Amino acid sequence: MRVKEEFVEVVPSELDVEIKKIFEPKKAENFLKAFPRLALRNLKDLSIYEKEQRLKRTILEEGGETILNFISEQTALQDSGTILLTSSCKNASRVLASAHRDVKTVIDLGVINYKNDLNQYFEHVNAALPDAGMFIGCIESIKERSTRMKGKYKFMYPFYHLYDFVVNRVLARVSYTKPLYQFLTGGKYFVISKAEVLGRLSHAGFEVIDHKEANNLFYFSVMKTGLPSEEKNIPTGMLIKMKRISKDGKIVGIYKVRTMHPYSQYIQDYVVKMNGYNKVGKPNSDFRITKWGKVLRKLHVDEMPQLLNLFKGELNLVGVRPLTQFGFQSLPEDLQKDRIKFKPGCIPPNVALGLTGFDGVIKAERIYLRSRNKYGIFVNFQYFWMAVYNMLLKRKLSA
């Protein structure tokens, strides 16, 4: 069966009526599951107005007026290249593969946590869209999941929450137990944070445009800006190596205790654009940091593995902090050139000089690098003792 349509819409509820005229209800349900392509409706004969109204009715039924307004702000519903996947669509990837070539927007109202392979699904969406194509979807994040479980399990919530954390957050990610978890659950109970889903989308070639919380779900809107990243082995364990720019522009792996949700490194630019920098020159109101990560950062436990880099000769004890590609490119050009003349360090200049804020960090680095150029390695000894004095007596730490 070939379906050639100008506009694709998934409306299983309407299709049920047609199928049930031929089959018994139970057989009709199985028939629809077996032939998901029948969920593609040919709306070529409908006017633009009628198409838009059908989409709006379906979105209102599934998400309500708040979500209809959110989606309407992100894309033109009257556009003939819009695909709407309802929450009852079981084979979204197959529907996308069967869609026509003029797709401009994909709207998935199903909770994406329940997809077997998130990265693979996002890659399928990417393949279906042209450059600047829009993708709108939703997840049940950690916060929304906790709210739902509290309402459902009441006083038993602490026990269910512990089980959910161990099984669906820990065992689902550990390399030794992940295959068994996938086999037993199909991945449909997977717990994911807002930061992780946005990071996975960025990794899949999308740019985050907007997000919204509604209906105890987290909705996102992203735009295709390129092909999915070829980087496959994304670190999700507790001890990770982060790619940072070192001397001569060389990329080195800096060891650190993971304090952020997985894939968070891919949305640093989005967080900075939204919230700017805090007083120590790091992204402000950073929702990528986990609750336990905030505690580890406050105690500076997350920085301890950098001693491995120090012993390997990849870091100095004192020096400018190793930055990500985005952070490095955010600096003035002259500072970029001066930075890569020396190895980065564990203790940054702003701690020694007692300067805070993004501008303070920049100023401290300029002062340090000028001194380093003029007086050599001996400057590091001076800055080390100045930093120790500030940390012990003035309690000025690098966050």
| Contact between residue 204 and residue 122 where contact means Cβ atoms under 8 Å apart | yes
Q: What share of the chain is helix, strand, coil (3-state, %, to 5)?
A: 50, 15, 30
Segment among 203-212, 258-267, 271-280 with least mean pLDDT: 271-280
- Extents of the domains making up the chain: 8-140+192-224, 145-182, 239-394
pLDDT at 48: 67
pTM here is: 0.76
Chain centroid offset of residue 329 CA: 21
Please check the confidence at residue 104 and state whether its pLDDT lies above 70: yes
pLDDT confidence tier of residue 364, bands split at 50, 70 and 90: very high
**How far lies 347's CA from each of 259, 316, 352, in Å?**
19, 8, 8
User: What CA–CA distance (Å, rounded) separates 120 from 131?
Assistant: 18
142-197 pLDDT, tens digit per residue, is: 999 999 999 999 899 999 889 888 888 888 877 788 888 878 877 777 889 999 99
User: What CA–CA distance (Å, rounded) separates 208 from 273?
Assistant: 11
- The DSSP bridge partners found for residue 221 are 136, 210
Overall average pLDDT of the 37-63 stretch: 68
| Contact between residue 332 and residue 372 where contact means Cβ atoms under 8 Å apart | no
Segment among 234-243, 295-304, 309-318, 340-349 with least mean pLDDT: 234-243
Please check the confidence at residue 385 and state whether its pLDDT lies above 60: yes
CATH 3.40.50, applies to 8-140+192-224: yes
pLDDT confidence tier of residue 123, bands split at 50, 70 and 90: very high
Report which DSSP code applies to 289: B
Residue identified by tokens 């500030």 is 390
Q: Which helix (H) or strand (E) holds 14?
A: helix 12-20
For the chain, give the percent of residues with pLDDT over 90.
Answer: 47
pLDDT confidence tier of residue 280, bands split at 50, 70 and 90: low
Residue 234's SS3 state is coil
